Chain A
Amino acid sequence: MASSTANVNVSFFDYQGGRKGILGWILSVDHKRIGILYLISMMIFFAVGVTFGFLMRLELIAPDRTIMDPQTYNSIFTLHGVIMIFLFIIPGLPAVFGNFFLPIMIGAADVAFPRLNLLSWWLFVIGGLLAITSIIMPGGAPDTGWTFYIPYSVRTSTNVIPALMAAFILGFSSILTGLNFVVTVHRLRAKGMTFFRLPLFIWALYSTAWIQVLATPIIGITLLLVTFERLFSVGIFDPSLGGDPVLYQHLFWIYSHPAVYIMIIPAMGVISEVIPVFARRTIFGYKFIAFSSVGIALFGSLVWAHHMFTVGMSGVAMIVFSVLTFLVAIPSAVKVFNWVSTLYKGSIVVEPPLYYALAFIFLFSIGGFTGLIQGALSVNLHIHDTSFIVAHFHYVMFGGTGFGIFTAMHYWWPKMFGRMYNKKVSIVGFWTLFVGFNVLYFPMFVMGWLGMPRRYYDYLPEYHIYHLISTIGSWILIIGLLIMFINLLKALKSGEKVTKENYWGGETLEWKCPTPPYVFNFEFTPEVHAGPYEYKQNDESEKKVEEEVVQ
C-alpha cells in the first residue's frame, strides 16, 4: 500500500490503493485490516473451541459413556484448552482490538512495524491450522491436556509434536505483536500524548506487551525442549533419563501464569475505557489503574508455582508463592474499586457495552475471590485438580476476558464497521449469556468442593445433578452466544449506518476520527491537550450540583 497515489482520505474498507479483493486483506499491512483479519480467524477458532466444550459437557451429562470414548474425551479437553487459550483468549484483545485501536488511540497512522504486524497474523493462522490438523493427522489427537506435562507428553503416541509446534509458533506471533506495541507506544504517540494522557486501554496493552515479550520465550524454549526430548531422546525432563518433571512444570508456569495476565489485563483495560464513557465522568484514580496494570504484570511474574502446590515442592517455596499470590490480588482489587467508584455519582447511561462491562466486574470478582481461596495452602490441597479450579478459571478467563472481548465488540463495533447492531437483541443475548454462564460454571464450584476431579471422563452418581445442571447451562450459554454473534454479524449487512464520529460520547481519540476510520486513521495529525477522560460538561454540571448542595 505504501507508494500509491490513491486517495487515503476514505474509509479503510473502500481504499483502492492496495491490492484488490481478498489479497487486499490477507496481504494488507494496514493495522485496521489486520485487526479484522484477527477478528475473523479468532472467531472461527472460537467456534471450534465452543464446539469442543459443548461436546465435553454433553458427554458429562450422565455417568458412564454418553457420546464418546475416554480417549476422544481426553483429546477434546486438550484441544479445547489449546484453542481457547492460544487462539482465542490470548490474541482476543491485543491482536484484534489492540491492533485496530492502539494506533488510533495514541494518534498514530499505524503501528511501528506494519509488515511485522502482518507476519504475526500469518504466524497466528499457521499455528492455528497446525493445532487443528494435529487432531486429524494419523497418530491421534494429542491427549496431554494443554499443559503438556512430562512424562506423559514424552510417552504418549499421539500427535504431541504438531501441537507443541503450534503453541511455539503462536507464541512467536504473540511476541511480535507485543514488540510492535511497545515500540509503537514509545515512538508514535501524537504530539501532547504524554504517558499519563494515554487511555487506560493503552496502558493495559503496554503492560501486556511487556509480558508477551519477556515471558513467552520461556514457554517457547520449554516446548522446544520437550520436542527435542521426543525426537532425539535428549535427557532434559524425562525422569527415566534423570530429568526432573517438576522442573518442567516450573518452566511451564513461569510463562503460563504471566500468560493469565496477558489474557486479563487488556480486558481490564477495555472496562476502564467503557465505564467512564457510560458513567459520563472522569475515571476515578487514573494513575492507580495505570500503575496497577504494571503492578499486575510485575507481581504476576512471581506467583507461578501456585499451580504446583501438590507436586512436592519445598515448604519454603510453598509459603513464598502463597504469600506472593495474595499480593497479586491487591492491584486487581484496586481496579475493581476504581471502576465502582467511577460509577458512583456518575450520570450512568445504560447501553449494551455497559451491561457486558458490569458483568465483567461481577464475574471477575467471583473468579478473583475463588482464586484467593486457592492461594491458601491448606485449602489448595483439598481443591487442587477438582472442578473448583475449572470453575475458577472459567469465571476469570471467560467471565473476565471473554466478557471483556464481548464488551469491546459492543463498544467499538459501530466505529470499526460503521454499522450499529440491534441494541434490544444484544441485551436479550446478554441476559441469556449471563444466565447460561452462571448455570454452566457455578455448579462446578460446588461439585469441585465436594471432590469431583477435573478432566475426568466418568463420575460417581452423587455428582450427577451438578453435571446435569451444568450441561443444561452450556446449552443456554450457546444460545446466548448465537444471539449475540448473529446480531453483530447481521449488523454488518443490515444494521443502521453510523457516520458520526463519536457514537457513545467518548473522549478518547478513536472517537475523533472518521467512522469507519480513514486509511491513515485521521485526515489531519491530531494533537492532545488533556487527559483521556475529561468530561468537561459533566464536571461542570456536577460542580453546580455540589454548589447547590452547599447552599
Chain B
Amino acid sequence: MSSTTATPIADPHLHRDDEGSRLGMWLFLFTELILFGGMFLVFAVYKFIHYEEFHAAARELNSMFGALNTIILLTSSLTIVLSIVAIQKGQKLLSIFFQIITIFFALGFMVNKYFEWSAKFSHGIYPGSETLLEKSSGEILFFGLYYVMTGLHGLHVVIGVLLIGYMTYETIKNKVNSDKYVRLESAGLYWHLVDIIWIFLFPLFYLIA
C-alpha cells in the first residue's frame, strides 16, 4: 500500500547526505579492517604454532623504529582531526596547515620505514634470501608476514598521503569549507584507520621479543 505525494521526485545527484557519506566510508573502513584482520588471523595461528621462533625473530626487529613510527602516526592522527576542527570553525588556513603537517608526518613515517627495511635487507633478511631460508620455518613465516603486513600498511600510508593531499587542494579551492567538509572527514577517517592498524602491528611485531 502506498501513495504518491504531490512532490516531484528530486534529482538524486543533487541530493546531499553527509551522514550517508560517512556511513559509506565506515563500511569501506570495515573492509580494510578485515583485510588486515585476515593477516592477523594468519599471524595468530603461526605465532601459536611457532611460539619460540616468533619470539626469536622479533628480537631482530628494532623496537625503536617501531616506537618512533607509532608516535609519528599518533601525532599525525591528532593533526588531521585538528584540521577538521579548524575547518568547522572556519579557520581555513589553520586547517590547511594541519593537513600539510599530517602529510609531513606521513612522509616521515615512510622515511623511517625505508631505513628500517634497508637495514633488514643489508642483513640479508628479505623474502627468498639465502640468509632467511637458512632460518627456521617459524622465522621465515615471521618475516614473510612482517614484510607483507608492514608493506601493505605502508601502501595505505601512501594512499593516505594522496588522499589528504587532494583534500588540501580542495580546501584551498574552497570545495572543502566550513559548511561542507565531509570529504575531509572521510579522508581523516581513513587516516585514523591506518593509525589503528599500526597500533596493533607495533606490539605484535616489535614487542613480543
Contacts and interface: CB of A to CB of B under 8 A. Distances in A.
Given A8-B11, A233-B128, A529-B1, A241 B20 contact: no
5 contacts: A112-B20, A175-B31, A221-B35, A523-B9, A524-B8
B6 interface: yes
A112 B17 contact: yes
B27 A526 contact: no
Among A114, A221, A243, the most chain B Cβ lie within 10 Å of the Cβ of A221
A505 B183 CA distance: 44
A221 B11 contact: no
A108 B27 contact: no
Given A220-B35, A242-B138, A187 B12 contact: no
Contacts of B138: 242
A509 B2 contact: yes
B203 interface: no
Contacts of B24: 112-113, 116, 179-180, 183
Interface string B1-34: 1111111111111110101100110011011101
A187 B23 contact: yes
Contact of B23 (A114, A186, A233, A531): A186
A187 B27 CA distance: 14
Interface stretch (B70-78, B141-149, B158-166, B173-181): B141-149
B144 A217 contact: no
A405 to B, nearest CB: 26
A110 B137 contact: no
10 closest A-B pairs by beta carbon, nearest first, are: A242-B137, A530-B1, A110-B12, A2-B13, A187-B20, A235-B144, A221-B38, A233-B128, A109-B12, A235-B140
A187 B144 contact: no
Nearest to B20: A187
B148 A228 contact: yes
B154 interface: no
A456 B41 CA distance: 34
Given A187-B17, A213-B30, A214-B30, A520 B35 contact: no
Contacts of B145: 236
Given A242-B136, A512-B2, A247 B42 contact: yes
Interface string B91-109: 0000000000000000000
A309 B179 CA distance: 57
Interface of B: 1-15, 17, 19-20, 23-24, 27-28, 30-32, 34-39, 41-42, 45-46, 49-50, 127-128, 133, 136-138, 140-141, 143-145, 147-148
B141 to A, nearest CB: 5
B137 to A, nearest CB: 2
Contacts of A186: 20, 23
B30 to A, nearest CB: 6
B4 A525 contact: yes
Contacts of A191: 5
Interface in A211-248: 213-218, 220-222, 225, 228, 232-236, 241-244, 247
A217 B34 contact: yes
A536 B128 CA distance: 71
Contacts of B37: 217-218
Contacts of A180: 24
B127 A534 contact: no
Most buried by B among A182, A183, A243, A254: A183
A222 B27 contact: no
A486 interface: no
A507 interface: yes
Contacts of A418: none
Given A213-B31, A225-B148, A524 B38 contact: no
A232 B1 CA distance: 60
Given A175-B31, A222-B38, A242-B141, A525 B7 contact: yes
A234 B148 contact: yes
Contacts of B8: 523-525
Interface in A102-133: 107-110, 112-114, 116
Which one of B11, B31, B143, B147 has the greatest number of beta carbons of chain A within 10 Å? B31
A243 B141 contact: yes
B60 to A, nearest CB: 15
B42 A251 contact: yes
A528 interface: yes
